[in-house]
Structure 1
Amino acid sequence: MQKGLHLSTLAGAMAAVLMVGSAASVHAAPTHDKNVIGYITQWEAWKGTNAGFSVKGEATHLNVNMDIYSILNFSFFGVAKDGSLHSGDLRNKNIYQPSAVQEPGPLLHPDVYSSWDFHILWGELEYIHQYPGNEAWEADALRKVQEQGFVKSGNGWLHTPTGVSGQFPIPLKKAGGAPGLIDLAHQKGVKVMASLGGWSMSKHFPEMAADPVKKARFLEDVDKLMALGFDGIDIDWEYPGTGGMNFQGNPEDYGNFELLMEDIRERIGPNKLLTAAFSASTAKLEGYNWPRLVASMDYFNMMTYDLNGGWSNVAGHNAPLYPYPEEEYPDLDLDHLRAWMAAKGIPSEKINFGAAFYGRGVQTTEATAYVGAPTDKRTVNFSVDGPTESAVDLDNWKEFEGQPNYNYIMQSAGWEHMWDANAEVPYAVKGKYFLSYDDVPSIEKKAQYIVDNQLGGVIVWQVHGDIKCEGTFISYGAKLKQCTNLSSPLAEAIDRVFSAGGSLNTAPVLTVPAAQNVDAGAVVSFNVSATDAESDPLSFTVTNAAIVDNGNGSATVTYQAPNTATDLQETVVVKVSDGRTSTSDSIVVNVKGSGGEGNTAPVLTAPINASVNSGQSVVISVSAEDADGDLLTYTASDGTVTTTATGADITFVAPSVTVDTVIDLVVTVTDGIASQTATIPVSVLADTTGGVTTWDPNQVYNTGDTVMFDGVKYTAKWWTKGEQPGSSSVWEVFDDGSVGEWSASKAYSGGAEVTFNGQTYRAKWWTKGDQPGNAGGPWELV
């Protein structure tokens, strides 16, 4: 869509301000033409201070900066077993169980007290508790319900303009009250979509899309949504072809999805919007006929988040912009997806990439978490997914089940925040806990990437993840509240970049040679070069070969051909980047086979197991034979590899463990063409002292050495020998940095914290023997 639709006249803007509250902030509408699509959910409004909001009811349409967003997706309507649509508030909470199905239900939750559906979509409400009769005292109420299109239907009501029905009370739009989502958005030139499906409500999508009868029922409810005033339909079927919660995908899903898009397009007409959310994994995207989808759909909303989480085996990034060495699976990043979609010929202006206004936290097996640290899984009973094996961090993010909003993350203390220069996203650690999230700098980088690559825009999950009220609240009825001064730092960052108005970055131009020819086992080298219109510094990378940057806009590629008996054709891919965008090209290499015998893989001989004490090292010897007499190379998943006359020695240093632990050491030998691996289980025997030696009166200890004595851990302050810990000032009780109980015999520096009589104190200066709590003393209550 063109952002020009987003511009409001002065009169329209003033009318919107008067309707929503005169104290509301007024912002200048942006001038850019990028999509900023925000998902607004029906359940977030229930959350209050325990989830980072100022009050319950803050997370509604009244607290969305509509001068930033161009489209809002109201989420979600679910698909029932008969193909009909239902309110997301009526989701079967046992849908994760194998035999569970979703029964049909009302399109909007009929109970205005237990749902936000009507409050968000229709705004401030006035309740009529029974259908008015013809008595004189009922005349005003009868006029109101008739003017808004309500008629009596059974024991409830029917809204004739939309076909929506419900139970009493009748939810009348209050005259002069706060407008609903669609009315308010339209005043600001913002479109509103109905989003269908979601992770927990997609089970019946495959059968509906495959069954003409169920699809007809589905399309009838699409008609009702359009009658409610929505500007289009957003499909969130997770995931065609591969399946989702409690259902399996099948190859027919792809074609059925494409036909469903065409059926919806025919139903809603050419002037309404049709979009869908898609996985960021290219493996899940191969089955689509993309030209067919391009013909029927307006935008492809790519979910470039949830790429790592509690299900991962190592701590990784939720939404990386670029690849990084520690990633568990390759190609799960925004840059790879963009290149893949460009290669498929998908128009860039139809592609919107995800912006995560939340993070994902996991617990690891390490004392201090890091990118790539092994995750620590156990069975967790999630409110949506049910019992699941997960490493999710519930100690710090219980209210969010491990997925805290950005505004809550910013309120949480005790975390060390860091930046991954490879993935170009932040992360945070606190002891064994790892948190991946996006902040203002990373969101700005992603927005700039979208500008540089001329993509359509962003999708935001979800719009209330970054809001912060810096003013007061105006109440509209019992539920709706509007902040007079709302901050949305991540959304504002996107708007700043999109509205910057600078010239677009031009991708570098890459020049590569024609196809290369080389004999089996030989080496061929060739040059590549690139130019950049902005004269940005260029960097080269390559796959399936080696590359040396010559520093003058060119690079030398060296390709080692395999020892093959038959002719082969291989591809070398060169990529050049100016730091903002990149260009790739391929060089075909024709390898002339030797015509002799084929290569034989080496045979590896390794011990069946090994053992080592905690914190100690062990040398594990392996050997291999190769029938072709090729030069062999050895690698190992851990430890240091040293080549020997008969094979290799792997020096493995065991971690310090307090319980016996088995670590799998994977050893690989290769002849440059084929390889063989062996897994050696290494038993690490626990050290009951936790890796600290017992004090020996005959041993010399230097500053910083630690020992155990009478079950207590001590640290040497200077050189010592024969001086017993606990009775000599050379030894001090080991300080692990935690807040411990105050000790009269211990010296504390300024800033040290202790507990005393159940309270925490902080030292104002150096002290020893001064009891916390004494007036005028060195301790202050924290």
Structure 2
Amino acid sequence: MKKGLILGKVAGAVAAMLITGVASTAQAAPTHDKNVIGYLTQWEAWKGPNEGFSVKGEATHLNVNMDIYSILNFSFFGVAKDGSLHSGDLRNKNIYQPTAVQEPGPLLHPDVYSSWDFHILWGELEYIHQFPVNEPWNQEQYLKVKNQGFVQQGSGWLHEPTGITGQFPIPLKKTGGAPGLIDLAHQKGVKVMASLGGWSMSKHFPETARDPVKKARFLADVDKLMALGFDGIDIDWEFPGSGGMNFPGNQTDFADFEQLMEDIRQRIGPNKLLTAAFSAAPTKLEGYNWSRLVASMDYFNMMTYDLNGGWSNIAGHNSPLYAYPEEEFAEFNLDYLRNWMAAKGVPSNKINFGAAFYGRGVQTTEPVAYVGAPTEKRTVNFSVDGPTNSAADMDNWKVFEGQPNYNYIIKQPGWEHKWDANAEVPYAVKGKYFLSYDDVPAIEKKAQYIVDNNLGGVIVWQVHGDIKCEGTFINHGTNLKTCTKLSSPLAEAIDRVFTTGTVPNNAPVLTVPAAQSADAGQVISFVVSATDADAGDKLTFSATNATVVDNGDGSASVTYKAPNTATNLQEVVTVKVTDGRKSVVKDVVVNVKGSVNGGNTAPVLTAPATATVASGQQVVISVSADDADGDSLTYTVSSGTVTSTAAGANVTFTAPAVSVDTVVNLVVTVSDGQAEASSTVAVTVTAESNTTWDSSAVYVGGDIVTYNGLKYKAKWWTKGEQPDQSNVWQQI
């Protein structure tokens, strides 16, 4: 849904809210056409002051700024072993165990006292504790029950319009009471999706997608969801092909997923929405037929968060926008994923990227944490994942199990907050503890990136992560309450950028001269220029191997000094211009003529980029160098010893004893007495592992096993995937 199409509905929606007694803060509907999709969970409403909220029950649909969101995903309905759907409140809490399965259950939790399902979906309730009879003394209640579609069924009730069943009391929508999620959203022109699956309720997706009988039960419950008034279906199968909590992946999952999307599309029709959440790791996306998915689906919701956490071997960012030198896996950032999806031909306007309204904290082995610091793992008993080897920070964020909401993070003292200019995200440190999160500037940069690259919009996990009540609460029965003045700084930042920056940015056009010539040691200058179609954008020039002076007229003078060489060389000066949002880079070749007098030429060093050694063992690294002048060469190394050889030198390095894999950077330098050259060898010191791979065991990212005499490291959660046959394992 495009929010720019609902301007005429605002006044009517506000009036309807006031009539029903729900307070509303006046705000103009946005004029942009970007998706702002928020996940609204059924369990967040249980949380109160200990989790950063003012009161328990604050985190419901009544406290979401629906002038900002275009779609809300009610999360989650789980998949049972027979393919049917069930309330997320009925999730098997032991599903992480190898033999555990999910038994079938009601679509909505039948007990209004132990679940928020009916309170969120149907709003303020009036309880009827026994089925009324059609008698004069019971006529009022009888008509209420009848008019809302309830009939008696066994010892409970059936809601005929939807097929939903339950136990007493009957949850009647209270006349004039606060509306439920779907009614309220529709008043505001917002669509509501039913989100199916999630990390802990995806175990039975593969068999359901494969088995026609189970799939029929699944689709029958999809019918019930649509009858409840949902505007579409969002699938959160974590993850086809690579598996998830207590289930393995299979290559056939990809085709099964594609077929399931087509089956759901046929079931719900062409005018309802069909979306799905996808991993942000390209290695988990290779198996999809993207053109087939494009044909059946409206949006691809890419989960560009949870890219680092307690499972990681180093302290990294939860949701980095760009690559950064310390990252453990080079492809784990939003920019890389966008380019990867563009290469796959996925339409940019169908792609929604994730905005994390929470952070991830880890503990490190260092006295003061930093980006790239080794993490310190131990067994943590998580409420969902069970006992897991993790570095999650349970000292500072215990109630969140290492994943605090933004509205809680900003209240905590004692943290030093910093900014990573490479990844363009903030982080915080306190002693050995590291916290990655997104703040307003980071969210604004992600929103602007989405505008600049013509993407569909954002998905927010989750909508209550940033809310703060700055007013008072109006009660609607015993459960629901509305804040009279609600603040949502991260959501408001997205709305602000999408509203004011909806015109995509044009990249500058850079003009550089043809190849230049210079004598050895000579200083030369040349002029570059740039234009920009976006009036008012300030252009900034820079260059590698040269200095730059901005001339102030859209051009810059580049000054370059040629090396003092006896032989002819071809050098490259890389010129960059940026308008602050997009950059363009071009190379200028400089042909350097060698000096007749034979000036000194720096040696050229050859060394391997990487090496591997076991904990406490020695490794010998051979290096060599060439010198155009035939000068005597001397080798040195930052750590270790150097022995001359006929071809160059051998560097002998003794690895430290480590308990987790550790990278040590050795800097090797060669000198001819006048000039020198250096190279860094990244030596991976592997921790000892006596663990033999077990097909029945659960492993998480960073775990090391031995299989057929070789060592492998897990990239993420896995079970039953043979190390030499699955990309979840990386051979060491």
**TM-score, with structure 2 as normaliser:** 0.77
**Alpha-carbon distance between aligned partners in 2 of 1:455 and 1:603, rounded to the nearest angstrom:** 37
Alignment partner, residue 116 of structure 2: 116
Number of equivalenced pairs: 627
Residue 37 of structure 1 contacts residue 460 of structure 1 at CA under 8 Å; is this kept in 2?
yes
**Alpha-carbon distance between aligned partners in 2 of 1:285 and 1:604, rounded to the nearest angstrom:** 28
The verdict on how the C-alpha distance between 1:164 and 1:23 changes in structure 2, with shifts beyond 3 A counting, is closer
Residue 19 of structure 1 contacts residue 177 of structure 1 at CA under 8 Å; is this kept in 2?
no
Alignment partner, residue 298 of structure 1: 298
Residue 611 of structure 2 contacts residue 682 of structure 2 at CA under 8 Å; is this kept in 1?
no
Once the two structures are TM-superposed, the CA of residue 555 in structure 1 deviates from its matched residue by 10
SS in 1 for 2:75: strand
Alignment partner, residue 649 of structure 2: 647
**Alpha-carbon distance between aligned partners in 2 of 1:553 and 1:314, rounded to the nearest angstrom:** 41
Alignment of 1:300-319 (within 5 A): 300-319=300-319
1:582-632 superposed Cα distances (whole Å, 9 cap, x missing partner)? 57999xxxxxxxxxxxxx999999999979xxxxxxxx9956388999999
Alignment partner, residue 335 of structure 1: 335
Alignment partner, residue 624 of structure 1: 622
Alignment of 1:423-572 (within 5 A): 423-500=423-500, 503-508=503-508, 532-534=532-534, 536-537=538-539
SS in 1 for 2:482: strand
Letter in 1 for 2:28: A
Alignment partner, residue 564 of structure 1: none
Alignment of 1:38-57 (within 5 A): 38-57=38-57
The verdict on how the C-alpha distance between 1:606 and 1:464 changes in structure 2, with shifts beyond 3 A counting, is closer
Letter in 1 for 2:582: T
Letter in 2 for 1:268: I
Q: Aligned residues: percent identity?
A: 73
Alignment partner, residue 63 of structure 1: 63
The verdict on how the C-alpha distance between 1:670 and 1:104 changes in structure 2, with shifts beyond 3 A counting, is farther
1:319-338 superposed Cα distances (whole Å, 9 cap, x missing partner)? 00111111111021111111
Residue 661 of structure 2 contacts residue 685 of structure 2 at CA under 8 Å; is this kept in 1?
no
**Alpha-carbon distance between aligned partners in 2 of 1:348 and 1:153, rounded to the nearest angstrom:** 49
**Alpha-carbon distance between aligned partners in 2 of 1:604 and 1:46, rounded to the nearest angstrom:** 50
Residue 78 of structure 2 contacts residue 87 of structure 2 at CA under 8 Å; is this kept in 1?
yes
Residue 419 of structure 1 contacts residue 426 of structure 1 at CA under 8 Å; is this kept in 2?
yes
The verdict on how the C-alpha distance between 1:622 and 1:283 changes in structure 2, with shifts beyond 3 A counting, is closer
The verdict on how the C-alpha distance between 1:193 and 1:549 changes in structure 2, with shifts beyond 3 A counting, is farther
The verdict on how the C-alpha distance between 1:491 and 1:159 changes in structure 2, with shifts beyond 3 A counting, is same
Alignment partner, residue 580 of structure 1: 581
**Alpha-carbon distance between aligned partners in 2 of 1:419 and 1:479, rounded to the nearest angstrom:** 40
Letter in 2 for 1:580: R
Alignment partner, residue 81 of structure 1: 81
Alignment partner, residue 565 of structure 1: none
SS in 1 for 2:319: coil
SS in 2 for 1:422: coil
1:201 aligns with 2:201: yes
**Alpha-carbon distance between aligned partners in 2 of 1:641 and 1:304, rounded to the nearest angstrom:** 44
Letter in 2 for 1:647: A
**Alpha-carbon distance between aligned partners in 2 of 1:421 and 1:163, rounded to the nearest angstrom:** 54
**Alpha-carbon distance between aligned partners in 2 of 1:122 and 1:679, rounded to the nearest angstrom:** 57
Alignment partner, residue 730 of structure 2: none
Once the two structures are TM-superposed, the CA of residue 508 in structure 1 deviates from its matched residue by 3.9
Larger radius of gyration: 1
Residue 607 of structure 2 contacts residue 622 of structure 2 at CA under 8 Å; is this kept in 1?
no
1:543-597 superposed Cα distances (whole Å, 9 cap, x missing partner)? xxx98797868999xxxxxxxxxxxxxxxx99986442357999xxxxxxxxxxx
The verdict on how the C-alpha distance between 1:575 and 1:352 changes in structure 2, with shifts beyond 3 A counting, is farther
Alignment partner, residue 270 of structure 1: 270
SS in 1 for 2:428: strand
SS in 2 for 1:464: coil
Once the two structures are TM-superposed, the CA of residue 295 in structure 1 deviates from its matched residue by 1.1
Alignment partner, residue 722 of structure 1: none
Alignment partner, residue 384 of structure 1: 384
1:513-544 superposed Cα distances (whole Å, 9 cap, x missing partner)? 99xxxxxxxxxxxx999764346546789xxx
Deviates more, 1:470-479 or 1:645-654: 645-654
Alignment partner, residue 180 of structure 1: 180
Alignment partner, residue 694 of structure 1: none
Alignment partner, residue 261 of structure 2: 261
The verdict on how the C-alpha distance between 1:440 and 1:626 changes in structure 2, with shifts beyond 3 A counting, is closer
Letter in 1 for 2:47: K
1:4-42 superposed Cα distances (whole Å, 9 cap, x missing partner)? 343343552243331453643221111111111100000
Alignment partner, residue 215 of structure 1: 215
Alignment partner, residue 770 of structure 1: none
Letter in 1 for 2:581: R
Residue 277 of structure 1 contacts residue 301 of structure 1 at CA under 8 Å; is this kept in 2?
yes
Residue 664 of structure 1 contacts residue 682 of structure 1 at CA under 8 Å; is this kept in 2?
no
Letter in 2 for 1:365: T
Letter in 2 for 1:75: S
Residue 606 of structure 1 contacts residue 622 of structure 1 at CA under 8 Å; is this kept in 2?
no
Letter in 1 for 2:362: V
**Alpha-carbon distance between aligned partners in 2 of 1:549 and 1:345, rounded to the nearest angstrom:** 39
The verdict on how the C-alpha distance between 1:513 and 1:180 changes in structure 2, with shifts beyond 3 A counting, is farther
**Alpha-carbon distance between aligned partners in 2 of 1:405 and 1:308, rounded to the nearest angstrom:** 16
Structure 1 residues without counterparts, runs of 5 or longer: 515-526, 557-572, 587-599, 612-619, 684-782
Once the two structures are TM-superposed, the CA of residue 63 in structure 1 deviates from its matched residue by 0.3
Letter in 2 for 1:9: K
1:160 aligns with 2:157: no
Alignment of 1:116-155 (within 5 A): 116-155=116-155
Q: Of the two structures, which has the highest relative contact order with CA contacts closer than 8 Å and spacing of 6 or more?
A: 2
Letter in 1 for 2:36: V
Alignment of 1:644-723 (within 5 A): 647=649
The verdict on how the C-alpha distance between 1:642 and 1:188 changes in structure 2, with shifts beyond 3 A counting, is farther
Structure 2 residues without counterparts, runs of 5 or longer: 515-526, 550-554, 560-573, 588-605, 671-676, 689-732
**Alpha-carbon distance between aligned partners in 1 of 2:613 and 2:37, rounded to the nearest angstrom:** 57
1:16 aligns with 2:13: no
The verdict on how the C-alpha distance between 1:266 and 1:583 changes in structure 2, with shifts beyond 3 A counting, is farther
Once the two structures are TM-superposed, the CA of residue 439 in structure 1 deviates from its matched residue by 0.5
Residue 669 of structure 1 contacts residue 677 of structure 1 at CA under 8 Å; is this kept in 2?
no
Residue 197 of structure 1 contacts residue 237 of structure 1 at CA under 8 Å; is this kept in 2?
yes
Letter in 2 for 1:347: P
**Alpha-carbon distance between aligned partners in 2 of 1:669 and 1:479, rounded to the nearest angstrom:** 67
Deviates more, 1:133-142 or 1:298-307: 133-142
Alignment partner, residue 726 of structure 2: none
The verdict on how the C-alpha distance between 1:263 and 1:549 changes in structure 2, with shifts beyond 3 A counting, is farther
Alignment partner, residue 358 of structure 2: 358
SS in 2 for 1:201: coil
**Alpha-carbon distance between aligned partners in 1 of 2:469 and 2:685, rounded to the nearest angstrom:** 57
Alignment partner, residue 720 of structure 1: none
1:234 aligns with 2:234: yes
Once the two structures are TM-superposed, the CA of residue 121 in structure 1 deviates from its matched residue by 0.2
**Alpha-carbon distance between aligned partners in 1 of 2:687 and 2:142, rounded to the nearest angstrom:** 81
Once the two structures are TM-superposed, the CA of residue 669 in structure 1 deviates from its matched residue by 9.1
Alignment partner, residue 716 of structure 2: none
Residue 75 of structure 1 contacts residue 194 of structure 1 at CA under 8 Å; is this kept in 2?
yes
Alignment partner, residue 694 of structure 2: none
Residue 306 of structure 2 contacts residue 318 of structure 2 at CA under 8 Å; is this kept in 1?
yes
The verdict on how the C-alpha distance between 1:605 and 1:197 changes in structure 2, with shifts beyond 3 A counting, is closer
The verdict on how the C-alpha distance between 1:297 and 1:584 changes in structure 2, with shifts beyond 3 A counting, is farther
**Alpha-carbon distance between aligned partners in 2 of 1:130 and 1:682, rounded to the nearest angstrom:** 65
1:221-262 superposed Cα distances (whole Å, 9 cap, x missing partner)? 111000000001111111111111111111111111111111
The verdict on how the C-alpha distance between 1:18 and 1:682 changes in structure 2, with shifts beyond 3 A counting, is closer
**Alpha-carbon distance between aligned partners in 2 of 1:605 and 1:149, rounded to the nearest angstrom:** 71
**Alpha-carbon distance between aligned partners in 2 of 1:609 and 1:10, rounded to the nearest angstrom:** 65
SS in 1 for 2:55: coil
